[in-house]
Amino acid sequence: MSSIKNIPAVDEVLRQEKIAGLFTIYNRSFVTDLIREATDGVRQMLRHTEPETTAGLTRAELTERIVNTTVDLVAARSRGTLIPVINGTGVVLHTNLGRAPLGQKALDYIQEIASAYNNLEINLETGERGSRYHHVEELLCRITGAEAALVVNNNAAAVLLGLNTFAQRKQVLVSRGQLIEIGGSFRIPEIMKMSGAYLYEVGTTNKTYKSDFARAIGEETGLLFSAHTSNYKILGFAQDIKIEDLVELGRQYQLPVMQDLGSGVLYDLSSSGLKEEPVVQDCVTAGVDIITFSGDKLLGGPQAGLIVGKKAYIDKMKQNQLLRALRVGKITIAALEGTLLEYLAGTPQEYIPVLAMLAKTEKQLTGQGQRLLRKLKTTLGNHTLVEKIRLVPFEDMVGGGAYPTYTLAGVGVEIKLAPDQLEPVAQALRQQNPAILIRKQEDSMRISVRTLLEHDQEKIVEGIQKALQTIQMQKIDQPR
Ligand SMILES: *Cc1c(COP(=O)(O)O)cnc(C)c1O
């Protein structure tokens, strides 16, 4: 005999003490919907199991099951879908993980500004309407040496705005070696189309000379454009036009020169071994008219598109109606100002998390690795699903499209699991809050310490313990 007839009515579940407790916090229809969902789940379970295994379930037992499931569902559904992730991958700027974690000053500033009214668009001196674009500008000019600056939603928007402002229904000259695609479908030719500009390809994939550009300039030309090839490298018989030459041509023919840097390095990272990303200040010095870069890549701030350059050109971009659709909000401005203020300090790599991660020395990494190793060995060393825990060298990466061919020497912990346990454990770790992302290698999981933030080590130990427990319970539950 099936137990389906013992499934309680919703009203009966509603009378249970634990459910009544939920009503003091959550609204009635939200909880009732989840009771129905839990009840359906139990009904399905009874239908799909062998009658003899579930036949004896009483009304009280089924009610308890539904109540407990409802409590779990409420816990799962009463938070947003965005949850924190511990990044054990060693990829510093992981686009899928929200790129740069913000520093303390940025966080404090967001809290202060967003929890109150603020002077986003009012000039407090005159009491009249002000401009939101005024806010970050002075700081950006001070740091980069540029005459003027503007901030939009992201770097893709910055490029779009530049192309539309200077080259709508005109030609944009770009070297064939720079027709880039950045992950997540940012493609120079596509952005061109959307901006209303016409792409004019110059030179060849591996060789583009100044003379190629000089020959290509004509009546229809509106803009000379250069994109930093941040996520690939052309090696061998290759040469591309130098930005200085492009600037010279721009002067000669009175055409604006725009450079899309992608990453936006404001602080020389060569002491961390990172020499190839152009530094924004150098591009300003080289005389580039419009320079665009991301706020959340190597700059270490919020998602934003930063534009710096000559005042006459930036002013023209400010007057473009398209800007209204690309504008940033107060939270972005607060986070950006908080981040940029750190660059006024002599040692921004102490305060900006992304820079701090890149600057970690081998000694620091080894120290952190050993601490994590000790903690893991103490709690998990004798676990039946764990075969071996050891320190391993790690190939960390900058990520975010930057330094595609370059790995940073890192340190990590490797946990060798019993056969076939890696997938289920990795999945259990992803489904926790905070979720934990690891790297997989054969039967082992690996965690790099470079990308761990404060207190992540404790959470990792706890998280792995919990994941292993979940896996073990599932094994017991499963009939053979
Ligand atoms: C990352 C990148 C972009 C896109 O920047 P978003 O801030 O993600 O919009 C554009 N151009 C280059 C060269 C990049 O590296």
| Percent residues over pLDDT 70 in the chain | 98
Whether ligand 1 lies within 6 angstroms of the CB of 155 is answered as: yes
Is 226 close to ligand 1, i.e. is its CB under 6 Å away?
Answer: no
Q: Which of 474, 454, 372 is nearest to 415 (CA)?
A: 372
Could you give phi then psi for residue 414, rounded to 5 degrees? -115, 130
| Predicted confidence (pLDDT) per residue in 157-209, tens digit | 999 999 999 999 999 999 998 887 766 667 888 888 899 999 999 988 888 88
User: Does ligand 1 lie within 6 Å of residue 278's CB atom?
Assistant: no
- What average pLDDT does the chain have? 92
360 touches ligand 1 (CB under 6 Å): no
Q: Is the pLDDT reported for residue 365 higher than 80?
A: yes
- The mean per-residue pLDDT over the stretch 373-378 comes to 97
| Amino acid in position 188 | I
What is the mean pLDDT of the segment spanning 436-452? 96
In angstroms, the CA 149 to CA 132 distance is 12
* Count of other CB atoms within 10 angstroms of residue 434: 15
| E strand or H helix that includes residue 12 | helix 10-14
Burial class (CB in 10 A: 0-12, 13-18, 19+), 327: middle
Average pLDDT over residues 386-398: 96
pLDDT > 90 fraction of the chain, expressed in percent and rounded:
77
3-state secondary structure of 325: helix
Q: Name which residue sits closest to atom 10 of ligand 1, judged by CA.
A: 262
> In the predicted model, what is the mean pLDDT of residues 32-59?
88
pLDDT score of 480: 45
Task: Name the more confident of 458 and 278.
Answer: 458
* 439: DSSP letter: E
Angle at 35 between CA 29 and CA 40, to 5 degrees: 130
pLDDT beyond 90 at 276: no
Q: How far apart are CA 231 and CA 225, in angstroms?
A: 18
Residue nearest to atom 8 of ligand 1 (CA): 155
Report the nearest-CA residue for atom 11 of ligand 1. 262
Structure tokens at 122: 């009012």
Q: In 3D, which of 303, 233, 308, 292 has the Cα closest to residue 260? A: 292
pLDDT given at position 90 = 97
Mean pLDDT over residues 339-361, rounded?
94
Establish whether the linkage from the previous residue to 302 is cis, with ω within 30° of 0. Answer: no
8 A C-beta contact, residue 280 and residue 308: yes
Average pLDDT over residues 305-310: 98
C-beta 178 within 6 A of ligand 1: no
153 touches ligand 1 (CB under 6 Å): no
Minimum-distance ligand 1 atom for the alpha carbon of 402? 15
Q: How many CB atoms lie within 10 A of CB 116?
A: 7
Label the pairing between strands 444-448 and 439-441.
antiparallel
State pTM to two decimals: 0.90
Q: Which of 191-195, 340-344, 416-420 has the lowest mean pLDDT?
A: 191-195
Sign of the Cα torsion 192, 194, 195, 198 reads positive
Indicate the Cα dihedral angle 393, 399, 404, 406, nearest 10°: -30
* Higher-scoring residue by pLDDT: 82, 474: 82
Nearest atom in ligand 1 to the alpha carbon of residue 159 is 10
Token digits for 73? 């569902």
pLDDT at 305 over 60: yes
The two structure tokens encoding residue 62: 């089924």
Among 40-54, 208-222, 300-314, 407-421, which stretch is predicted with the lowest mean pLDDT?
A: 40-54
Q: What is the pLDDT of residue 235?
A: 78
Q: Comparing 51-65, 93-107, 227-241, 276-290, which segment has the lowest mean pLDDT? A: 227-241
Ligand 1 centroid to residue 260 C-alpha, Å? 8
The residues pairing with 207 across neighbouring beta strands, listed in sequence order, are 239
**CB of 87 sitting under 6 A from ligand 1:** no
Residue nearest to atom 5 of ligand 1 (CA): 155
Task: Please tell me the predicted confidence (pLDDT) of residue 185.
Answer: 66
Are 59 and 20 in contact by the 8 Å Cβ rule? The answer is no
State if residue 230 touches ligand 1 by the CB under 6 angstroms criterion.
yes
Q: With a 6 A CB cut-off, is 154 part of the ligand 1 pocket? A: yes
Distance CA 182, CA 47 (A): 49
